[in-house]
Each structure stands twice: as C-alpha cells, then as structure tokens.
Amino acid sequence: MTSIKEVKQFQEFLMNAWPAEHYFFLNGWILRFTNGVTYRANSVIPFNYTGKKKQIENDIENVENAYKSFNLPTIFTMHEHFEPEELDEILRNLGYIEQDRTNALLMEVDKLDLSHINKDFTYEFYNERIKDFSSLLAKYTKRDKYQQEIIKEITSRIMVPKKSFVIAKLEGEPIGTLMGVLNPHGYIYIADVFVVPEFRRQKIASSMLKTVIKEWAISNGAKNIWLQVELENNNAMKLYRNLGMKKIYNYYYLRKNLV
C-alpha cells in the first residue's frame, strides 16, 4: 500500500512536471491557473489543510471566487489522502461532480523489457516540444492548436526536472508522440503518449517508451517509471499492465462549473 507521504510526493512530482502559470496558496491548499488548459494545471491540490473545520466552506467559497476571477470552473484534484478528510463530502453537497477517475502506475526501470522495439519506425529526440509534436496532437486529439500552444508554454516552464520529447516517424512523417520528464529523485514521468489511429497495434507506443528509457532516461539516472491513465482508457491500461506497471494510487477530479 502506498503511504500518505508517497502519494503526496507523487503529486508534488506531477506539479513540477506540469507547472502552472499562476499559483495561489490557501491554508495548505495549492491553487493552479493556466488559461483553463488541462485539469492538471488548473485545479486545487488539497495536500494539507491548516484552516479550521468551521471555515472549510468559507475557504471553498474563496477558492471559487479565485477561479471565477480567471473565468474558470473550480476543480479539486482528489488524491487518496486529501485534507481535510471531509472535503469530498462537503464538495459533493455543494454541487461538485466527479470526473476522470485515474490510476497512477509505477514500475522499476530495470524490470522493463527493453527488447521488441519496432524498427520499422524511427524515434527522434528533442529537448523541447517542437512544432511537429504539438501539431500532431492538435490534429488528432481533443486539444486544438491554441490549447497545444498553452501546453507548450507549460512544458517550457519545467525547470529542475530533465525532459525529453519523442516523435515516432515513418518516412519522415510524424505518427506518434511521447514526453518524458525525469526528476532528481530518479522518477521519469511519461505523458502525451499518442499514436495516429491507422498506425496503432504495431507496438509503437511501447517502442517509444522503451526507446526513451533505453537511450535517454537510464543514462540520466532514471530508476522508476510512472504515469497516469484514466480508468476508462482500457487500451492504455492493458498496454501498461502488459509492460509490468502496477497501480500505486488513484485520484479523481471534483468540478463545479461557473454559475
């Protein structure tokens, strides 16, 4: 079982891998604002709560007013050890709706089988999120060109962790993406894993992951691999379980739209 300390450490890793544009701190809660693009960069992280119990609803109202000032809905990221312990019940009673329950998965680098890389494709590495990377995601995923530009700004703010962006190509044409962010503790966070639909089921996603581990992460001190997968994403869950990744904790979002 993952300890409270470990869960909070992983949430800290995630904030450093997905740095918001603006922060505000309220009685131990961390509020993040980034033009409304991605829940990860626009939600409250209730790590700790130092306020008084009788003030919780007042603090929630202050949070909502803060997000309203950015014209954003209020979203709480509810990892397994949020504070205070009654926060979930209070938020639901105030009209918050649960969304996107997600598993965090982990495995040790030396347990990943680095063979069976699909050599029909090339895998290029970059130290920043280049246009080909963002354009491919803008074309095929739910986040458009503008939102991809915001995400590019988010990744440009990654300072202490090391980062690598992988593009899988066929005859020079991008057909897949993967981002890796390696922190000083030896944990590489994997995100933005995408393969163009017509090229799926050819082990491209797993090949990008194995390639970034083999050719970049190990030499930079990676010891563990971790990532998040929404429970409804059955194909991704199957892929990572087959690679040997195990669930370490889960989280979900509670969202209240602007009135």
User: And the tokens for 211?
Assistant: 């390639």
Q: What is the pLDDT of residues 90-123, one digit of tens each?
A: 999 999 999 999 999 999 999 999 999 999 999 9
CB atoms within 10 A of CB 195: 22
pLDDT score of 105: 96
**Whether 34 and 50 share a structural domain:** yes
Phi, psi torsion values for 12, nearest 5 degrees: -65, -40
Q: Report the distance separating Cα 183 and Cα 238, nearest Å.
A: 26
CA nearest 86: which of 65, 66, 62, 60? 60
**Whether 139 and 79 share a structural domain:** no
**Whether 52 and 141 share a structural domain:** no
**Whether 81 and 133 share a structural domain:** no
**Whether 113 and 49 share a structural domain:** no
Distances, alpha carbon 239 to alpha carbons 20, 27, 95, 177, 234, in Å: 29, 40, 35, 16, 9
The pTM of the full predicted model, rounded to 2 decimals, is 0.93
Q: What is the pLDDT of residues 146-174, one digit of tens each?
A: 999 999 999 999 988 899 999 999 999 99
Range of the domain at 34: 4-102+252-256
**Whether 89 and 111 share a structural domain:** no
Q: What DSSP string describes the chain?
A: ---HHHHHHHHHHHHHHS--SEEEEETTEEEEESTT--GGGSSEE-S---S-GGGHHHHHHHHHHHHHHTT--EEEEEETT-SSTTHHHHHHHTT-EEEEEEEEEEEEGGGS------TTSEEEEESS--HHHHHHHHHHSSS-HHHHHHHHHHHHT--SSEEEEEEEEETTEEEEEEEEEE-TTSEEEEEEEEE-GGG-SSSHHHHHHHHHIIIIIGGGT--EEEEEEETT-HHHHHHHHHHT-EEEEEEEEEEE---
**Whether 145 and 24 share a structural domain:** no
pLDDT score of 1: 66
pLDDT score of 146: 95
pLDDT score of 118: 96
pLDDT score of 189: 97
The number of distinct structural domains making up the chain is: 2
For position 139, which CATH number holds? 3.40.630.30
Which of the residues in the chain have pLDDT under 50?
A: none
**Whether 114 and 241 share a structural domain:** yes
**Whether 188 and 242 share a structural domain:** yes
**Whether 149 and 215 share a structural domain:** yes
